[in-house]
Amino acid sequence: MIAGEIRRYLRDNNQIRVSRSLRDLAYRALKAREALTYKLGREPDNAEIAAEVGCGDREVAFAMDAIQDPVSLFEPVFQDGGEPICVMDQVKDERVDADDWVRSLSLRQAMEHLGERERGIIERRYFEGRTQMEVAEEIGISQAQVSRLEKAALRQMQRYV
């Protein structure tokens, strides 16, 4: 009963909600790992733990990961006297391609060659998603003028990209 209350407390008062069956599998896997370590005299692999528990090694790995405490992205993982290396420095964002970053940088540099008004028009049109009419009303010129200025600015930017 005491062990059950302790498990219930740990399950219900954790930072991340994990199902009871998954948590129970993880605790059985931990017990099996401890017993196998003693029996084999070495650290068992997931396949050996899974065989002892009676399930697949992927399930064991998933269950063991599920009970780990979350780690901050800003947690230092290495420091050699200088700037610490954090978890975030080691994580790659699969959604962002290196080519996208270079293109974005090239566009920003090309925009530096534009005048204040042209830069404002390009930012409003392409980075803020406004229409030519909306931009025209904001800066007090006609839509046709916005169209001409936008085309000229894009031609000028093409020279630098």
Question: Tens digit of pLDDT for each residue in 62-85?
Answer: 888 888 877 787 888 877 777 788
Same domain for 63 and 109?
Answer: no
C-alpha–C-alpha distance, residues 149 and 156, integer Å: 10
CB neighbour list of residue 126: distance below 8 Å, 6 or more residues apart = none
List pLDDT tens digits, range 115-156: 999 999 988 988 888 899 999 999 999 998 999 999 999 898
Taking the model in full, what pTM does it have? 0.42
Inside any domain, residue 74:
no
Inside any domain, residue 92:
no
Inside any domain, residue 103:
yes
Same domain for 115 and 61?
Answer: no
Inside any domain, residue 78:
no
Same domain for 151 and 107?
Answer: yes
| Average pLDDT over the chain, rounded to an integer | 84
pLDDT band at 100 (very low <50, low <70, confident <90, very high): low
**What CATH number does residue 111 fall under?**
1.10.10.10
Inside any domain, residue 2:
no
Domain count, the chain: 2
Same domain for 104 and 156?
Answer: yes
Domain region containing 50: 17-69
CA 42 to chain centre: 35
Helix (H, G, I), strand (E, B) or coil at 76: strand
C-alpha–C-alpha distance, residues 154 and 126, integer Å: 11
pLDDT band at 39 (very low <50, low <70, confident <90, very high): very high
pLDDT band at 29 (very low <50, low <70, confident <90, very high): very high
Same domain for 53 and 103?
Answer: no
Predicted pLDDT of residue 99: 65
Inside any domain, residue 11:
no
Same domain for 57 and 107?
Answer: no
Inside any domain, residue 135:
yes
Inside any domain, residue 7:
no
| Of 69, 87, 110, the domain-final residue | 69
